[in-house]
Structures are given as structure tokens and as C-alpha cells.
């Protein structure tokens, strides 16, 4: 392609193909990967190295010079060396004056140093224009071209022009630059690739703990009790029956735990009579991971739905139904249709289906691309109104499922209530307290508080102090 | 963190942390919430107020001055007061010359004033540079940090540099600025947070109305008729059976209504012989909400799928099957396998499953993040070709489901046809008309018309007039 | 709206509504559609034409002049003519000096010309500032306003200011400009609208081929064999039974094919002792379409799940179960519950459900908006770790489903093994090789190689040569 156009190119004085030389300090793995990519995109590349001798690892097209020589050849210098070795740059201060230094470094731990690597670089070479970029891209992915994951490159820096130059290179490499503002954003950008689902930790540990508890409870209730009292071996319940008891309980409890902190916050605000005092730390953390809690709950609800729909395919279920039919046929009797049972069975299924449907809807609206397309009023409508309707439907589903078993002594094995009863405790508390909170008298006061009214203004001085302290 | 780095900072002359003072006019709820957030992000804040005295509600770090004094201290002034009180700004004209005024106001109604608040502000203080921003962010969410919803801040303004300054602040607060162009976009930005799913209104009201109609029809057909004629109580059908009759009918009718306007538009274009004349208003509105119609149809199809898969778990179904088996066993007879029934049952299930699968595919491709990643040709291929295949499959599913009931007089209760027959009317019309339209003779002409050819050029003058009128 | 504000407007000297004139060269379909839209957005439009006479097709508000006259009236000129007719622009060189020329052209084939149309334009009129834009928008969609698909307009150009001017127009028309960098991006932008799912071709043809193979295999095994040997007519199996045998096999094989190239790449790297040599072309292509392969596999898994859950509704299944029950009742015997069967049935269902759940999770994380929100470490964790767990679960699901049939001679009809056995070959190979590769000794060496270590540095010279050649 380029070959064909080369003779035309010669006629054109200022071609866009002629890209500016890029200098790379450091011949390590990432520097080399970036150099290959840059050369492929048409950038002349020059390496700056302590020991400037050609290496078989470095592309033939790239020159390898001393740091100072290399720096003089380019306006943009990519610092592909580790923070510990930045000090020598101080001696190059004069050469680097006005140059764009691209800090691509990462640390091994979150907040490893008091200031970000990029800011540290800017302090060492104050005459240069430092831009943070490329640290979120994997060297291996860059070279192999298998960028299935994010093509986003976070860029930040104090100099707009320098940032623009780096963003042009990012685009030329087929990546998407994202302007994150001034260099003070570098700390966050450097922490980013070290995280492994930070917002998901609490929800996942919480649900693992709860799952373990429910598992052992069900084990005792559904497996050990029958094997002791009736000498029956239901061990195969471990594969389908017990998971399908745990999943709905987990889904219901976790969904209720999504709405519990909001209720607690309202109570605290009503009690304190102000919105300007900070919530306790645990409540703040809880509120920030509500979305993740809800999605874990949805995962459990999804599993529950498939487990339930697969029930009629199970050999055990087919055998039991066949066995009952045969014994009725052999005893020559037919059982008449029970209208109440028909109502109960159909209503708890219908409630569950509708609850699951709304749950899925909530999940879809929490997809980033969908929630970015709704305004604040629409988001609140969906997540709050629809969320509570979902909680009501799912709680009702569980209540009707139980039917009149609550009063049945057979369901209390070893004085333990049936597991599903446990799962109803938190949802019922949330729904009762919420229905009290929306009484006009309380709701009106809460609205006033949230609009800034204070029962006791002196309280807020203290709270402002707290906020300011955290802002230091 | 900042403490540790402070002694290093002292050595550096131009630190990026030193942010410019921001002035806020108005000490109301939003102004205070914004000030907290700004102070946390390192911006010195000064308030401009009619009554400049320190208040317990205002952060201690923020100064409170008169409007004129405050304005002199900052290059950016956030106008956190209501439009009705903007007039006093005229008297500050000289102080505000060249300053960036950020209009964050919202109205109570859509298009409340002839011009947007931001443009009104620009007219009052023509020497200032007005930028619209922040109006889509909730004060409460800003302060509590629970920005689960959109972090997008729409920004518009006529002065590029002023816009850039405001966008830098937006980014520093951890939000995402979205440049919407010049100040004339402010009207739309101000209307945005007042909307509650505007595109969804028509589809939702339409489906509510249709659902009510089908519900009463099914009530008469499936509940009242048997209770009158056979004295049977099927009231529990209300929970599962009747919803599972309504859902598939709604899904099919709504899906057909997605493709009906396209067919009507083609007929109108063929009849008029031009594409330059405007469609009637109702058709325009209908065409604009096709995506939403389709998604509501998908929701009904999803409910239908789960309702159907849950059928074998229902107590009623289990009882009926058991009852039939027992009575056969007692009568000592076995019914041989009916091959036709086997074919019919399996084909309508298979058609339904494939139709549902394509329907889900259509739904996924309409997710914003997916549809943004396909080009126009791909989008048309999916939404048009795949959409019609879906419609054909779903119509066939319903036709085969009915089997030879059409001719069965038993299905006409009180001379009312079975409900599913009603749901077939619109889809069949759409498919028949569409199959006529893709006949080569008509298709060729339609393509020519859509490429700009006109049978009767005089027609278009009139239509241009219409377009121009709307462009005034 | 504008009418009401017009008298206020008069008082304001510099109103933002007064937009700059835009010139359009060419009165074809796209030019006219764009002119309507521009006029609606408040831009004065002037047409440049070879035969400057008013036409009924052109909006009354727009002037039609000669090319030279029209060009003088505007700073921005939209070139809405085809590349073949660009030459006449050379004669206008002086008039076009410094003007912004917007190239909106598309080609009929991918890479039709050696250089992009935009670059060709820039070479013809080197004194003008060429910007590529609007080529991805459909003229019809632009005019009808039904922009359900992408509102993204790719913009590229060498002059930043010119690009900014064009992006402002894009925004004013209600579209989203996407800066793609310098003019050398034009080639890719021009190819974009010509593509029809380029990355999907290989996966779709592959799965069509495999589906055909499995279909005929199942046909022989499940339909022809019984009809020959037992004289039974199972032709209705074509609707549900056989599709539900093909879908799980396809899902499993395709999922294994997602992970096979990674395993092959590791073997090649271990064998060559370097990562700097290029993989064979077929492996590169295969690796680049892994995501699409995985999504096709998910589609088959989804179909399998619904087909399976719909089993109990089938007339054939109901009849068979009823028939078995009746014959047992008539023979007056009950079959005792088989614990092993209970375990087998429940475990393969549970394994399948969990596998499907993880599969759906993988699918959701591959949505663009989700994968853009995870960092590289998180993405690798999900796609690699979770992916292998999914493959293990699905393979185990198939193995347990088979149970002890492997040894059953009845399952070998005409010496053909049961189809599901075929589908296990590739997954088992992948899992066995992978489990060898994660042995500490091999894993350590592979990690070293991937970090840049080379067993035989001389090898890499050759490979660099290869890379450099491709970068020419």
C-alpha cells in the first residue's frame, strides 16, 4: 500500500505520514514492545540507554544512543524505566527542558509512594512537561495485538499541548486516549492496574460467608436429620436440591441488604436531624458497594431460576411422580383437585417470575452503557421504585412458597425452623421499616432534612469539622 | 499523603496541586454541596452572598464575601442561584467582564422559558463567558459520593477556553465532562434532567392498553365462559395461565407494530412517488419509538418464556397429568403415540425457541455500547433482516401452536375466537404487505425513490416548504 | 421558540445562534440531506455546482452558485462529490487556500485505492486543510432523523483547528464526533462502513461447517439407524431432539477452540524458546477472533439451555413418561429408586447449570461497556481463569451425562460412537495439554520467555526481520 503511494508522496511537501521521532529511555520489555508498535505506526524511534550498543532484541530500524543524544533527537521522551532509577534524569535537566516526558511506570503496591511516580518525575525535572500515560496497557498485549480488553489509555498532565501530543500518539497506535485532567490524577491512574475488583471484595466475602452458613444449616436440616431419624440417604441432594435452597435464600437476603443501608441512613438522618453529619464508616462502605451486592444477588437469583426450571428433568423428580401415580393407580383411588393448592402453587410461581423479571431489568439498567444514558431522575426511579417492588415480589414469593408451613410442627426439625424462614428476617425488617418511613409525617421531615434543613444547627459545626478534616 | 509530600512540594515552584480559586454565587443547597466537593479536590472556594456572614452550613475553609468582592477573587464564578434572581448580575457587569460564568440552574418544567437559562444569563452579562454545566448532577449525590448513576456532566458554551476550564474542574471532581458544543445546546441540557423516559411513554401506554384489552378478553373466554357453561372454577388461572396467554400475544403484536410503520412509510413513498415529502406526524412519532416498542415486546417474550418453562412445576399441571395417567391405567388402556401431534408439538416449541433466541439477539444489539460498535450497514442487517426473521418465526410459532384449532368450533366460545387468533392479525398483515413490497418491480422503484428520484418533481416543492417551515 | 426570543436577540451583539455559512460542493443525495439538516440546525448553506441553477430538490433557503463563488462564501466546504471527479478542484487551488475541506466520500470496495480519498484530496489541494468526516452516516438516516444506530461520526485530519470546526458542526447536528487523529486514519475510516462483521466471518463459517457435519452424523445415528434396524419413524426428532444434540456439542467444541490457540501459542513459544518470533498467520487470525468464537459458543449454549428446559413440555416426552407409568401400573410393579442414577442425573444437571452460568458471565464481561470498565488484570482474571473453569465444568457436564455409556456397545450404532463422544475430543485435549503447561517447570520457563528472555538470541534476529518487513 505504502509502496504504491510513495512516488506520489514525493511530490507532496508536507505529508501527514511523516511522524515525529519518539525517544524511549530504557530498553526493557515494555520499551521494546512500544517501539515495535510505534515503528509499525510510522514513528521513527530512538532509544536512550546507559550502554548504547545495538541489541538483537531492539528493532533494526531503531537507533540506540546515550540518554543525552537520544533526548536531543525527539520532542517526546517515553520514560520506560523504573521509578528507582529516575534520579539520573536530574543530570539531564538542561537537555530535557521543554521536552514532553511520558511516565509509563507502575508500582507493585497501591499507594506505594507518598506521591505518584509521574509527580515525582515532574519534581525531579521541573523544566520538562510530564504526562502520565500507557501504564494501563499490557506490554504483551501491545505487541501481540490481542487487545480484547480495554483499549483505553488514561492520560493526564498539567500541560495541555504536551497532553495533546501524547494523545495523538495513543490514537495512532489504535488505542483510545482518555483525558483524566491534571497530573494530580496520576496517583489514581497508577493505582488502577493494580486493583482486582476492589468494589467486589466486600460483597463476595459476605456472600461466601452467608453461603457457607446456609449450606451447613441446610445440610443439618435436609440431609443429616432425615438420615438420623428416618435412616434415608438423600446425599444426592448435594448436587441440586441444596444449591437450589441456598440460591434463593442468598438472593433474597442480599437484595434486602442492598436496601437496608438506605433505611439505616434515613433513620440516622431523622435521629440526628441533619444531613451534614457523616455516616459511620461501615455504613459509607456498605452504601458504596450496593450495586455489587445487587448484582451478586441477581447471580444467585439467576441460578435459582435455572435450577428450578430444571426440576422436572431430574431423575429423582420423575421417579417420585411416577411412583406416586402408580401407587394411586394400584390403590384404585384418584385424588381430587385442591383449589387452594392450585392457587398457592400458581401464585408463588407467578410472584417469583415477576420478581425475577424486574431483577433482570435492574441488572440491565446497571450496565454502564445503559445507566450512562438515563438521567438522575430516571436512574432513581428505576433503582429505588423498581428495586423496592422487586424486593416486595421476592419476599411475597418466599412467603407464599412457605404457605401455611409456618405453623406446621413438621417443618421444625430439631427445633430448627426451615431455612427459608431465616432468609425472610432481613427482607421483612427492611420492608416494615421502609413502610414506616414513607408515612407522610416522617417522609416530610426526611425530605426537609435532605434539602438542607437542620433541627439543631450546632450539630453541623461538628460535622463540618469532620468533613474539613477529611479534606485536608 | 499530602502531608508527607509537603516539604518536597516547597522546593517545586509550579506545583499542579495549586488550583485556582472558584467563586460560588449563592449559599443554597447545591452551592454548598459543590463547595464541599471542590474543597476536597483542592480548590480554594469563595462564596458571594447578599448577606455575607459566616454560616454553620458553609465549610469553614470557604470565605463568604459580597458578590462583587467574591467575583474579583476568581476567574470562574458558579451561579448557584435561581433564574428569577439573575437580574442583579447586570449591576456587576464590569466586575464580571471576561469572567467564566457557570450556569448550573434547572427549571421546573420542560421549555419553561423561551430561551435557556444559560442564554438568558449570557444576554444579561454579554461581557462574560457563559458555560452551562453541572445541572444534570444531583446535589445530594455529589455530596454523599454515591454516584452510581451517570457521572456525565454535559458542558456547553460559546467560548472554547472557558469551556475547557470548566471541563478541567469537572474532571477534577471525578466526573466525566461531555462537550455538547455551543451555548445553543443549553436548552436541551436544561430539559434533560426533567425527563422521565420520554421515548418510553407511547410504547408503555400502548402496551398497558393492549394488555387490559387482552386481559378482559381472556377473562371472558377462559374463566367466565367455563364457569357459566361448565360450572367450573378456574379462578386460579389468573396467576399463571392468563398471564401466559397475554404475554405471547403482546410480544407478537408489539413486534409486528415495530415493523408496521416501516411498511406504511414504504407505501406512502410509493404512492407519493417521492421521499421528500414529510410523513404524517403520527407516523414520525411511531417510527422514532420503534426501538422502545421492540424492547417492551422482548420483555413480554421473556416473561412468556419463563412462564412456559415453569409449566411442568405447576401443581395443576402435575395433578392433571397424573389424573389422566391414572384414569388410563384404571381403564386398562394405553393411547398409542400420535406422530402428527409429536411433529406439531416439537415444531411449535422449536420455532418459539429460535424466535426467542433471535429476539434476545436483537435486544443485545440494541444496547448502546453494542450498537455504537457496529457500522450502519451492520446495524441495518441485524435490525431489519434479523428482525423480519424473528417476526416470521414468532408468527409461525403461533400458527403452528394453534394447529388445526382454527377450524374447531369448540374454540369459538360465545362466537369469540380464541385470543391467540386476534394476536395473529397484525403480524400476518405486516408479513403479507412486506412480501408484496419486496417483489422486484416494487422494490426497484422504492430503491430509486429512496435514492432521490421523483415521479412528480412538483410535489417536492411543497414538501420542501414544509421542511423549511419547520426549520424556521 | 425562536420567534419569541427574536426581539431579545436583536439587543445582543454577538449571539451564538449566528452560525457560519457552510458550503457544499455537489447537489447529490447526501449533499442535499446534509443541507436540510444543516439548515435545520441554523447554518446558512450555499451549494457549489457545475450547473448553478435552482432545483426543486434543493432547499429554498440554500443558494446555488458556481464552485468558485460558493467556496468564497464559506470557511468550510463539504465535498459531496465522488473521488473520480475530484480533479477539477486543482483549478480552484487559490480559492481553496486555507479553507477546511471536508471529505465525506466512501468507496465501493475495501482498500479500493492505494491512498484514502481524503489523502488524495489533500494531495490535490495541498493549500487546503482536509478533514475526513460524515462518511459513516447514512444520508437517509440523517434526513429522516431515525438515527437508532450509531450517532458516532469519525473525524480525522492533520489540522487541529480545522478538525475542531468540523466537530462543532457534527455536535450541532446532534451527532457525536470521535477524533481519530491525523489524516492517515482516513483509510480505516473509509473502510469502516463497507465492513459486514469482518471479525465474525471465520467463527460463523466454522460453526456452519461443524453444524452441518454434526447434523448429518446425528441424522445417521439417531434417525436412519433406528428406521433401518427397528423400523421406527422418529422423523419429528428433526425439530427438537437433534437440534438439542447439535447445540451442546457445538457449544463445547467452540469453547474449546477458544482456548486451543492459546495452548498452541504456548507450545510454539516453549519450542522456539523466544516470544519475538511471529506466530504462523493462521494462528494469529485464530487468536484475533477468539472473542467472536466464544460468543457463538455462548449462543449455542443458550439454545441448548432453553431446548433442555423445554423438554418436559414436549408431547413426546409426556406421552413416553405416561406410557411407562401406565405399563408399570398394569404390570403391578414399582421400580425402586436408584441412588446412583439420582447422583448422576443431578450432578450432570448441576455441572451444566454452573457451566452455563459462568458462560453467561463471560458473555456479559465481553460487552464493550463492561470490558472498558475493568483493567487488564481483571480482564485476564475473568477471561482466562473463569474461562477455563467454564470449560472444565462443561466438559465434566458432558462426561457425566454420558455416565457409563462409553462402555455400552448399544451406543455404538454402525460402529459409530454416540455424537457427544466426538464433541469431547478437543476439550479433553485442551484441558490435558493445559494441565501439563501449568506444571511448575514449564510454567516458569514460559513466564521467563514472555518476560523477554530468549533461549537462543540468534533466533530473534530473524524474527525481528520478519516484524520489520511487515512494518515497512
When pLDDT is averaged across residues B126-140 and rounded to a whole number, the result is: 86
Residues in chain C: 472
Q: Do B240 and A350 touch (CB under 8 A)?
A: yes
At C270, list the grid cell.
516453549
The three cell numbers locating residue C391 = 470449560
* Smallest Cα distance from B197 to chain A, Å: 7
At residue A208, the pLDDT reads 96
Task: Note whether C152 and B372 are within 8 A (CB).
Answer: yes
Cβ of A435: how many Cβ atoms within 10 Å?
A: 11
> Can you give the pLDDT at residue A56?
67
pTM of the model: 0.84
> Sheet harboring B176-179: ordered strands across?
B63-65, B45-48, B22-25, B76-79, B100-103, B129-132, B152-157, B176-179
- Cross-chain CB nearest to C312 (options A303, A313, A370): A313
Residues 6+ apart with CB under 8 A from C241: B346, C222, C234
- The answer to whether B295 and B363 are in contact (CB under 8 A) is yes
Interface test with B, best of A188, A345, A454 (most B CBs within 10 A): A345
- Written as tens digits, the pLDDT of chain C (472 aa) is 333 333 333 333 333 445 789 999 988 778 888 888 888 777 899 999 887 766 667 777 788 888 889 999 999 999 988 888 898 899 988 899 999 999 998 888 888 888 899 999 999 999 999 999 988 887 666 665 555 556 778 899 888 889 888 988 888 787 878 888 788 888 888 888 887 888 888 999 999 999 999 999 999 888 888 888 888 888 888 999 999 999 999 999 999 999 999 999 999 989 988 776 778 889 888 888 888 999 999 999 999 999 999 999 999 999 999 888 888 888 877 788 888 888 999 999 999 999 999 999 999 988 887 877 777 778 888 888 899 999 999 999 999 988 766 667 666 777 788 888 889 999 999 999 999 999 999 989 888 887 667 776 544 433 333 333 333 3
Q: What's the CA gap between B97 and B127, in Å, rounded?
A: 5
| Highest averaged pLDDT of the listed ranges B19-33, B123-137, B277-291 | B123-137
DSSP A245-259: HHHHHHHHHHHHHHH
The percent of residues above 90 in pLDDT, for chain B, comes to 35
Chain A positions touching B368 (Cβ under 8 A) are 369-370, 372-373
Phi, psi of A79 (to 5 degrees): -90, 90
Continuous segment of H or E residues that includes residue B46: strand B45-48
How far is it, in rounded angstroms, from Cα C435 to Cα A72? 51
Q: Which residues of C touch A57 (CB under 8 A)?
A: 276, 452, 454, 457, 460, 464
* pLDDT > 90 fraction of chain A, expressed in percent and rounded: 35
User: What's residue A406's pLDDT?
Assistant: 67
User: Contact B239/A350, CB-based, under 8 Å?
Assistant: yes
Going by their DSSP bridges, the two strands C100-103 and C76-79 should be labelled as parallel
Q: What is the mean pLDDT of residues A173-181?
A: 80
**pLDDT value at residue B463:** 37
- Cell of residue A257, nine digits: 441488604
- Among B17, B168, B239, select the one facing A347 at the smallest CB separation: B239
Q: In what order do the strands lie in the sheet with C76-79?
A: C63-65, C45-48, C22-25, C76-79, C100-103, C129-132, C152-157, C176-179
Looking at the predicted structure, is the pLDDT value of residue B467 above 70? no
pLDDT higher than 60, residue A196? yes
pLDDT tier at A150, thresholds 50, 70, 90? low
Is A341 strand, coil or helix? Answer: helix
Residue tagged 459486514 (cell numbers): C196
Among A101-115, A219-233, C162-176, C238-252, the range with the most confident prediction by mean pLDDT is C238-252
Residues of B in contact with A338 (CB under 8 A): 315, 319
Burial of C258 (0-12, 13-18, 19+ CB in 10 A): buried
Q: Which of A78-87, A92-101, A348-357, C85-94 has the highest mean pLDDT?
A: A348-357
Whether C111 and A318 lie within 8 Å, measured CB to CB: no
pLDDT tens readout for residues B410-448: 667 777 888 888 899 999 999 999 999 999 999 898 888
Cell of B192: 434533560
Output the average pLDDT for chain A: 83
| pLDDT tens-digit map of B167-225 | 888 887 878 788 887 888 888 888 888 878 888 889 999 999 999 999 999 999 888 88
- Condensed to tens digits (0 to 9), the pLDDT of residues B347-373 reads 999 999 999 999 999 999 888 878 777
At B140 the pLDDT is 63
Quick one: pLDDT at residue C362?
Answer: 93
Determine the average pLDDT of the residues in B49-69: 79
Residues B313/A312, Cβ–Cβ less than 8 Å: yes
d(CA C352, CA C398): 8
Phi-psi region of C78 (alpha: psi -120 to 50; beta: other; left: phi over 0): beta
pLDDT at B256 over 70: yes
A387 neighbors A355 (Cβ within 8 angstroms): no
- What is the mean pLDDT of the segment spanning A147-172? 80
Largest CA distance in chain C: 104
**Contact indicator for A313, C352 with CB cutoff of 8 Å:** no
Give the span between the Cα atoms of A418 and A406, in whole angstroms.
Answer: 9
Structural element, H or E, at residue B140: helix B139-144
Return the pLDDT at C14. Answer: 35
**Minimal Cβ distance to A239: which of C347, C452, C468:** C347
Q: What is the pLDDT of residue B152?
A: 79
Let me know: does C267 contact C433? Beta carbons within 8 Å. yes
> Which percentage of chain B shows pLDDT scores above 70?
87
Pick the residue with more confidence: A154 or B460?
A154
Flag whether pLDDT at B464 surpasses 50.
Answer: no
Which residue of C124, C378, C472 to mutate against A (max A Cβ within 10 Å)? C378
The pLDDT, as a whole number, for residue B15 is: 36
Q: For strand B22-25 and strand B45-48, is the pairing parallel, antiparallel, or unpaired?
A: parallel
**In which residue ranges of chain A is CATH 3.40.50.720 found?**
22-194
Query: Among the residues of A310-383, which ranges form H helices?
Result: 315-330, 339-365, 368-371, 376-380
With contact defined as 3+ CB pairs under 8 Å, the chains touching C are A, B
Interhelix angle for C425-437 vs C387-402, to 10°?
130
In the β-sheet with A22-25, what is the strand arrangement from edge to edge?
A63-65, A45-48, A22-25, A76-79, A100-103, A129-132, A152-157, A176-179
The two beta strands, B63-65 and B45-48, are parallel
Helix or strand (DSSP H, E) at C24: strand C22-25
Closest by Cβ to A59, choosing from C329, C342, C467: C467
Maximum distance among all Cα pairs of chain A, rounded to whole angstroms: 104
For residue A325, list chain C residues with Cβ-Cβ distance below 8 A: 325, 329
Helices (H) and strands (E) in chain A, counts: 21, 8
CB contact under 8 A, C345 and A149: no
In this structure, are residues C48 and C42 in contact, taking their beta carbons and an 8 Å threshold? no
Q: Which residues of B touch A275 (CB under 8 A)?
A: 140
- The CATH superfamily assigned to A22-194 is NAD(P)-binding Rossmann-like Domain (3.40.50.720)
* Strand (E) or helix (H) holding B102: strand B100-103
Which H/E stretch holds residue C177?
A: strand C176-179
- The answer to whether A236 contacts C343, with C-beta atoms less than 8 Å apart, is yes
Confidence check: pLDDT of A411 > 60: yes
Instruction: Give the 3-state secondary structure of residue A6.
Output: helix
Percent of the residues in chain A that have a pLDDT greater than 70, as a whole number = 87
For B210, the 3-state DSSP assignment is helix
Q: What is the 3-state secondary structure (H, E, C) of C311-371?
A: HHHCHHHHHHHHHHHHHHHHCCCCCCCCHHHHHHHHHHHHHHHHHHHHHHHHHHHCCHHHH
Residue range B116-124: mean pLDDT, rounded: 92
Using a CB-CB distance cutoff of 8 angstroms, which residues of chain B are in contact with residue C327? Answer: 334
C-alpha cell of A369? 452503557
pLDDT of residue B144: 59
**8 A C-beta contact, residue C437 and residue C443:** yes
Cell reading at C221: 445415528
Instruction: Assess whether pLDDT exceeds 60 at residue B10.
Output: no
Amino acid at each position: 500500500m505504502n509502496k504504491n503511494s510513495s512516488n506520489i508522496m514525493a511530490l507532496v511537501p508536507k505529508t501527514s505520514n511523516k511522524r515525529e521521532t519518539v525517544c524511549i529511555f530504557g530498553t526493557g520489555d515494555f520499551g521494546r514492545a512500544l517501539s515495535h508498535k510505534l515503528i509499525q505506526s510510522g514513528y521513527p524511534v530512538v532509544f536512550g540507554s546507559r550502554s548504547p550498543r545495538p541489541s538483537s532484541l531492539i528493532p533494526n530500524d531503531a537507533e540506540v544512543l546515550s540518554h543525552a543524544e537520544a533526548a536531543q533527537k525527539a520532542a517526546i521522551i517515553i520514560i520506560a524505566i523504573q521509578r528507582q532509577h529516575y534520579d539520573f534524569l536530574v543530570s539531564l535537566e538542561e537537555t530535557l527542558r521543554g521536552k514532553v516526558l511520558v511516565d509509563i511506570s507502575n508500582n507493585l503496591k497501591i499507594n506505594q509512594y507518598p506521591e505518584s511516580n509521574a509527580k515525582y518525575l515532574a519534581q525531579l525535572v521541573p523544566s520538562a512537561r510530564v504526562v502520565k500515560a500507557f501504564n494501563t496497557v499490557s506490554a504483551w498485549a501491545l505487541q501481540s495485538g490481542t487487545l480484547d480488553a480495554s483499549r483505553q489509555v488514561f492520560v493526564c498532565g498539567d500541560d495541555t499541548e504536551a497532553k495533546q501530543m501524547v494523545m495523538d500518539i495513543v490514537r495512532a497506535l489504535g488505542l483510545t486516549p482518555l483525558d483524566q485532567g491534571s497530573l494530580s490524577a496520576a496517583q489514581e491512574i497508577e493505582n488502577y492496574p493494580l486493583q482486582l475488583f476492589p468494589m467486589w471484595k466486600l460483597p463476595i466475602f459476605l456472600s461466601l460467608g452467608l453461603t457457607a452458613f446456609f449450606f451447613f444449616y441446610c445440610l443439618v436440616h435436609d440431609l443429616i436429620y432425615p438420615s438420623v431419624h428416618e435412616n434415608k440417604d438423600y446425599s444426592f441432594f448435594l448436587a441440586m436440591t441444596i444449591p437450589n435452597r441456598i440460591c434463593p435464600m442468598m438472593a433474597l437476603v442480599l437484595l434486602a441488604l442492598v436496601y437496608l443501608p438506605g433505611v439505616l441512613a434515613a433513620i440516622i438522618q431523622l435521629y440526628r436531624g441533619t444531613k451534614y453529619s457523616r455516616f459511620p464508616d461501615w455504613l459509607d462502605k456498605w452504601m458504596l458497594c450496593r450495586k455489587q451486592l445487587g448484582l451478586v444477588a441477581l447471580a444467585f437469583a439467576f441460578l435459582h431460576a435455572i435450577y428450578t426450571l430444571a426440576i422436572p428433568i431430574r431423575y429423582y423428580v420423575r421417579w417420585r411422580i411416577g411412583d406416586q401415580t402408580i401407587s394411586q393407580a394400584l390403590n384404585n383411588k384418584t385424588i381430587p383437585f385442591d383449589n387452594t393448592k392450585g392457587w398457592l402453587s400458581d401464585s408463588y410461581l407467578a410472584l417469583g417470575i415477576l420478581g425475577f423479571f424486574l431483577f433482570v431489568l435492574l441488572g440491565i439498567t446497571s450496565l454502564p452503557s445503559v445507566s450512562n444514558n438515563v438521567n438522575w431522575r430516571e436512574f432513581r426511579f428505576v433503582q429505588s421504585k423498581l428495586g423496592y417492588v422487586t424486593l416486595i415480589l421476592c419476599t411475597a414469593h418466599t412467603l407464599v412458597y412457605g404457605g401455611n408451613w409456618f405453623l406446621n410442627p413438621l417443618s421444625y426439625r430439631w427445633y430448627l425452623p426451615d431455612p427459608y424462614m431465616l432468609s425472610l428476617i432481613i427482607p421483612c425488617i427492611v420492608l416494615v421499616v421502609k413502610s414506616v418511613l414513607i408515612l407522610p409525617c416522617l417522609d416530610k421531615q426526611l425530605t426537609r432534612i435532605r434539602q438542607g434543613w437542620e433541627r439543631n444547627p450546632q450539630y453541623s459545626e461538628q460535622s463540618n469539622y469532620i468533613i474539613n478534616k477529611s479534606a485536608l
